[in-house]
Amino acid sequence: MSHIALLSWGLVTLMLAGVIFAAEPLPPDKLPVVKELPDPFLFNDGTRVKTKEDWEKRRAEILEIVSAYEYGHLPPAPGNTKVFELVSGGVELIKGASHKQYRVTAGPEAKPVSFLLDLTIPSGKGPFPVIIRGDWGWHKTAADITAEVVKRGYILADYNRVEVAPDNKGRETGIYLSYPEGDYGASAAWAWGFHRCVDAVLTLPFVDKEKIVVTGHSRGGKAVLLAGATDARIALTVPNDSGCGGCGSLKYQAAKSEDVAQITKSFPFWFAPIFTQFGGQQEKLPLDQHFVKALVAPRALLETEALGDLWANPEGSRITYAGAKEVYKFLGAPEKLAIVYREGGHEHNFADWGVLLDYADVLFFKKKPATERDWDGNPFPNSPKMFGWTAP
């Protein structure tokens, strides 16, 4: 059997009977300068995507590029997720809703990952859509937001991603004991945790299996974007103010926004080790965040952004959104990619959740929102053009 070695966009891949195997990613000094957003439709061998079948193959290449250079490779799906009920509707924390809490375990039998999943469930029989949020480690979802979620007929599922992997450089707890090998950082570990939450909610009879939503804020939003990019069971992905390593551009830095050098200085452990080498050299990266967004397509992706959150590069998020939109158009689902801006700063507030619920109502139930929304917000009409390619 012949191996065809392909060297393009800096990633060395071996094609064997059509399957792509990853080799080592290249360091910045071995890569060309790419100032613009790279063309997602261009295969590593220089040919261009023509059909939807081609896109599936190109999608696999993009996933490998993003994994190798930015987040590392997610640990495998273990296929043995277990769900133990701890609390069953005893206390009515939110009026009219029931409360259930579970312990979820998954991974190697000797050293499984273990974390809590806390559900607030609307009254009635269901099945209900579910919104999984990973930021319990900061605080439980605020009571007014939880009440609104269940009032609108959705289950709120709180999970603490920091139980899966710590938010520091230590690799001595959580998932790192279960899967000690690997180039993955905390963002990928947290995304893996979201996938185990999906495993768990899929076992619950009152959950609508076609209507699973994931959301999170800031670093939690970065993990959510990656989780949505890597799990087709997730119907709607909603990163909030996710910034650098999330929805923000890596190659276009608006004033006061966080760049690769800054983020990898403070939080190298969120990413694959090689990503740090691109600090100050982001033009050498063979990707930008439109690649990650494109992995979600044609499933729904809603970005909620704050105009005053300059550190999170709201303008750069609009640029990578425009790039990803070409992929959504190509796949015949442009309306499944949405972006909504609000005034104000870095928080995941009641208004952001209102946008999520309205979009989910449209997506799942074709309900017209009570509030008029611009799902294709563009407060930056004069942004520089960061790419010249379009959907084939």
Q: Quick check: helix, strand or coil at residue 68?
A: helix
Residues at the contact surface with ligand GTR, assessed by CB under 6 A: 218-219, 243-244, 258, 263, 266
CB neighbours (10 Å) of residue 2? 6
What is the identity of the amino acid at 283?
Answer: E
Residue 217 or 290 having the CB closest to ligand GTR = 217
Structural contact between residues 134 and 163, judged by C-beta atoms closer than 8 angstroms: no
Alpha-carbon span 51 to 331, nearest angstrom: 9
Query: Residue 69 or 328: which CB sits closer to ligand GTR?
Result: 69
Q: Omega of the bond prior to 28 within 30 degrees of 0, cis?
A: no
Q: To which H or E segment does residue 98 belong? A: strand 98-106
Nearer to ligand GTR, 190 or 330 (CB): 190
For ligand GTR, give the closer residue by CB, 61 or 163. Answer: 163
Tokens representing residue 243 in the block: 């910034």
Pair 103, 97: CB distance under 8 Å = no
- For the CB of residue 65, give the shortest distance to ligand GTR in the complex, in Å: 21
Helices (H), 270-377: 289-296, 314-330, 350-365
Return the number of the residue (120 or 313) whose C-beta is nearest ligand GTR: 313
Q: Which residues neighbour 1 within 8 Å (Cβ) at sequence distance 6 or greater? A: 16, 17
The tokens for 348 are: 């995941």
Shortest distance (Å) from residue 347 CB to ligand GTR? 9
Minimum CB separation from ligand GTR for residue 192, in Å? 18
Nearer to ligand GTR, 139 or 385 (CB): 139
CB of 243 to ligand GTR, least distance (A): 5
- Residue closer to ligand GTR, measured from CB, 186 or 327: 186
Residue nearest to ligand GTR (CB): 218
Least Å distance between CB 348 and ligand GTR? Answer: 10
Q: Which is nearer to ligand GTR, 2 or 266 (CB)?
A: 266
Q: How far is the CB of 6 from ligand GTR (least distance, A)?
A: 33
Q: In the bound complex, what is the minimum distance in angstroms from residue 271's beta carbon to ligand GTR?
A: 11
Query: Which residues neighbour 53 within 8 Å (Cβ) at sequence distance 6 or greater?
Result: none
Helix spans in the chain (H): 52-66, 143-151, 161-164, 175-178, 186-201, 219-229, 260-266, 289-296, 314-330, 350-365
Closest approach, Cβ 262 to ligand GTR, in A, equals 7
